[in-house]
Amino acid sequence: MTGRIVLLGATGYTGGRTAEAMVARGLRPVLAGRDPDRIGALSARLGDLPTAVADVTDAASIRALLQPGDVLVTTVGPFLRLGAAAVAAAVDAGAVYLDSTGEPPFIREVHEVHGPRAATSGAALLTAFGNDYVPGVLAGALALRDAGPGARRVDVGYFLTGAGRGRAFSRGTVDSVVGIMNRPTYAFRDGGLREEAGASRMRTFLVDGRPRPGVTIGASEQFALPRLAPALRTVDVYLGWFGAASPALHASRRITPLLGRVPVVPGMTTALLQKAVARMPAAPDAATLERTTSHFVAEVFDHTGTLLARTHLTSPDGYAITAGLLAWGAGRAAERGVAGTGALDAVTAFGLDDLAAGAAEVGIVPVQPRE
């Protein structure tokens, strides 16, 4: 029996693109939101899709839309501020849940707080099911398969090329970044998850013929890859969007946690930045997205530090990838379900080969070695 798909946040930038991607795949999601006029207008534009009224901050109103086996997709962020009710509703309903977050503290909360309850209720939680961080999980899993049983460390890097000085991020993305600036992140070191400051480590990856620096962040890979390869001792994820500013971010890692302990500083900084973000256009610059390429690199090492395998995936516009992945994952889950309950990763939920095929459908493809 095919479950229904309910989409929260369709009137936002990422949500709108996700709704369009779903319709392009022949899906008819229920568009849910607080404003029936805006939802109704979008429904009419996309072919008279079904609609429902729900408040993303009210778990009961979302729960009323769901039955066991339904699929709830949410693109409403910042997730630390607005995401908890949707997860709670999915857990209570025994539904499949997917979101577009890239916020490390929220990802950790889904895995550690909501995951155990979901395993009991029969729900399946797939957080960060977009450009952040499905491609890196996929690249890491493919590299681990090539590396064999000797794998002990995986480094994953996320990079952008071609953006230049254009604005490649939506207002919602920037708002989410502002919301996590003063929050600690995490790493997978010595065989376990531990808390640490962002940008604690920096390294370069060879990408598109050039060495490019990245700094460490919390992501999905720290949860997913040790599940796939229990012998792993280290999983590091590096964000390479900052280019030449990466060394400065790495150097500031000892200062940021101290600022977070001063009661006035984080609130002042966040409030000022949020005012600036509110004045930004909702959508990123279309011309910038058109010329931007995303790169996802995974390298696997043995206990001596010898490189065993390397996978390099690439894709166009990251928002198209997020929309495409959410549409693919929701359609697949609604039609066939997923493997397992609780907080899952994309490989465990769908299988490595099926995930690779689905990713290729939306534009995430391997790069042939030439570097």
Q: Is the peptide bond before 78 cis (omega within 30 degrees of 0)?
A: yes
Measured CA angle at 173 (ends 169, 177), to 5 deg: 115
Q: Are residues 104 and 162 in the same domain?
A: no
Q: Kindly write down the DSSP assignment for every residue of 243-283, as one continuous string.
A: GGGHHHHHHGGGTHHHHHTSTHHHHHHHHHHHHHHHTS-SS
CA-to-CA dists, residue 277 to 135, 171, 259, 270, angstroms: 27, 6, 21, 10
Query: Which residue is it, tokens 């630390």?
Result: 80
Q: Are residues 177 and 306 in the same domain?
A: yes
Contact status, residue 349 vs residue 339, Cβ threshold 8 Å: yes
User: HSE-up of 194 (CA within 13 Å, CB side)?
Assistant: 11
Q: Are residues 123 and 147 in the same domain?
A: no
Q: Are residues 182 and 290 in the same domain?
A: yes
User: Which helix (H) or strand (E) covers residue 235, if one does?
Assistant: strand 234-239
Q: Is 180 helix (H, G, I), strand (E, B) or coil?
A: helix
Q: In which domain, by residue range, is 358 found? A: 5-131+319-366
Residue 364's CB is within 10 A of a number of other CB atoms, namely 24
Q: Are residues 231 and 302 in the same domain?
A: yes
pLDDT for position 7: 98
Gap between the Cα atoms of 364 and 128, Å rounded: 16
Gap between the Cα atoms of 56 and 282, Å rounded: 19
Note the Cα 225 to chain centre separation in Å: 15
**Residue 338: inside a domain:** yes
**End-to-end alpha-carbon separation of the chain, Å?**
47
Gap between the Cα atoms of 26 and 13, Å rounded: 21
Note the Cα 346 to chain centre separation in Å: 11
Q: Are residues 153 and 189 in the same domain?
A: yes
Query: Which residue is it, tokens 């409030």?
Result: 271
Residue 312 tokens read as 């390099």
Q: Please report, for the domain that includes residue 63, its CATH number.
A: 3.40.50.720
**Residue 362: inside a domain:** yes
Contacts of 353 (CB under 8 A, 6+ apart): none
**Residue 272: inside a domain:** yes
pLDDT for position 250: 74
Gap between the Cα atoms of 307 and 290, Å rounded: 34
**Residue 279: inside a domain:** yes
The number of folded domains in the chain is 2
**Residue 254: inside a domain:** yes
**Residue 371: inside a domain:** no
**Residue 300: inside a domain:** yes
Backbone torsion region of residue 5, taken as left when φ is above 0, otherwise alpha when ψ lies between -120 and 50, otherwise beta: beta
Q: Are residues 208 and 339 in the same domain?
A: no
Q: Are residues 122 and 204 in the same domain?
A: no
Residue-wise pLDDT tens for the chain (371 aa)? Answer: 478 999 999 999 999 999 999 999 999 999 999 999 999 999 999 999 999 999 999 999 999 999 999 999 999 988 998 999 999 999 999 999 999 999 999 999 999 999 999 999 999 999 999 999 999 999 999 999 999 999 999 999 999 887 656 555 544 554 445 444 566 789 999 999 999 887 889 999 999 889 999 989 999 999 999 999 999 999 999 988 777 777 776 776 655 543 343 344 444 454 544 454 455 555 556 666 566 889 999 999 999 999 999 999 999 887 899 999 999 999 999 999 999 999 999 999 999 999 999 999 999 999 876 54
Work out the angle between the directed axes of helices 221-228 and 134-147 (0-180°, nearest 10). Answer: 30
pLDDT for position 143: 98
Last residue in a domain, options 316, 332, 351: 316
Q: Please report, for the domain that includes residue 302, its CATH number.
A: 3.30.360
Q: Are residues 220 and 341 in the same domain?
A: no
Q: Are residues 147 and 280 in the same domain?
A: yes
Q: Are residues 20 and 104 in the same domain?
A: yes
Q: Are residues 160 and 303 in the same domain?
A: yes
CA-based R_g, the chain, Å: 20
